Structure 1
Amino acid sequence: MSTVLPECRCCERSVLVAGSRCDVDIDDCVSSPCYNGGTCQDGVNGFSCVCPEGYSDPQCVSRMEHCQSNPCAHGTCFNHDS
């Protein structure tokens, strides 16, 4: 009597993408996807960036323009680093 072993075929870019049992999680932060000093946090099938003050969007690329909303009404607004 022979034993039949299961064969796992992992879907590319799935949560469990590697290993003989498809049980190895891929670290999505290896490529350093966060810019301007942002910190990458690996997640399940993705990542998120914690941006430094003054930067926004998913990968910390865009500089926040605080004056864009005209917060000073009749005064003059200046963007500056805190």
Structure 2
Amino acid sequence: MPDMIALKAFRYRGKLLQPDEPFEALTSGHARVHRALGNAHDAPAKAKAKPRAAKPQDDPSAASGEYLRRDMRAED
């Protein structure tokens, strides 16, 4: 998986990449297409794509994908 650096802002694999942001192409074919379109160029050997830190969630139960059920019984 080739490491690349974005030349302009574009969406790739669900993320909006900004110029000069390093990322990792999924396949060598994807890297070839980005080079051909002028979206990105190969990263130097020392620059590695860093995963973005996840934003902290306020409610941990909502982050797990569980449906929060409410008690729908009538009050007396």
Q: Hey, which of these two has a bigger chunk of helix by percent? A: 2
Q: TM-score, normalised by structure 2?
A: 0.27
TM-score, normalised with respect to structure 1: 0.26
Q: Which has the higher contact order (CA 8 A, sep 6+)?
A: 2
